[in-house]
């Protein structure tokens, strides 16, 4: 998968492409919005991959570039669990990670980058290009899918930062810890 971004005065634009076993998918838009998609059948169109590579060169010439991981923000969705967790907790983690990968991916924001479980918490980590926009997208996704209850959601502006700021729930008091 190739992901490129360009910041303008008003927004951040994304352009990306990936292949499946049968298709090449090109997806572009404004970060935080679904954007547009074009699919090419790899088996029928032998020029699909060269076409995407040519488009990638054009996008880079127009100012698009990758965002290094150290410049990404991180959103953490945390749930309280009992002890080290259960298979039910792992099933919940997998379902939420799938939902968020879908939502963050189609809005050009980023993706989930794993989880940890144990010591009373389940944490799901998402690397995103814009933490402020990701807040709304993550909350909306979890709410629409009945997964917002019990969640504490925080972000840090860069992956190397130590401190997180909780943005959900509004009533959160105390200090956010990964445990």
Calpha distance 128→30 (Å, rounded)? 14
The CATH architecture to which 2-61 belongs is Single Sheet (2.20)
pTM comes to 0.91
Question: What's the chain's Rg over C-alpha atoms?
Answer: 18
pLDDT tens across the length of the chain (179 residues): 899 999 999 999 999 999 888 888 999 999 999 999 999 888 787 788 888 899 999 999 999 999 998 999 999 999 999 999 999 999 999 999 999 999 999 999 999 999 999 999 999 999 999 999 999 999 999 999 999 999 999 999 987 788 899 999 999 998 899 87
Which of 3.30.310.50, 3.90.700.10, 3.30.70.1400, 3.40.50.720 is the CATH number of 69-168?
A: 3.30.310.50
């Amino acid at each position: 998968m190739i992901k490129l971004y360009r910041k303008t005065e008003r927004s951040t634009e994304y352009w990306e492409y990936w292949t499946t076993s049968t298709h090449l998918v090109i997806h572009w838009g404004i970060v935080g919005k679904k954007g547009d998609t074009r699919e090419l059948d790899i088996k029928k169109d032998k020029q699909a991959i060269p076409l995407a590579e040519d488009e990638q060169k054009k996008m880079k010439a127009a100012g698009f570039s990758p965002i290094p991981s150290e410049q990404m923000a991180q959103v953490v969705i945390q749930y309280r669990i009992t002890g080290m967790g259960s298979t039910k907790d792992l099933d919940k983690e997998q379902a939420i990670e799938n939902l968020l990968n879908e939502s963050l991916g189609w809005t050009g924001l980023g993706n989930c980058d794993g989880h940890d479980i144990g010591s009373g918490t389940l944490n799901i980590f998402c690397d995103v290009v814009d933490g402020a926009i990701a807040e709304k997208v993550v909350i909306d996704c979890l709410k629409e899918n009945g997964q917002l209850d019990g969640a504490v959601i925080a972000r840090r502006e860069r992956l190397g930062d130590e401190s997180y700021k909780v943005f959900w729930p509004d009533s959160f008091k105390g200090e956010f810890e990964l445990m």
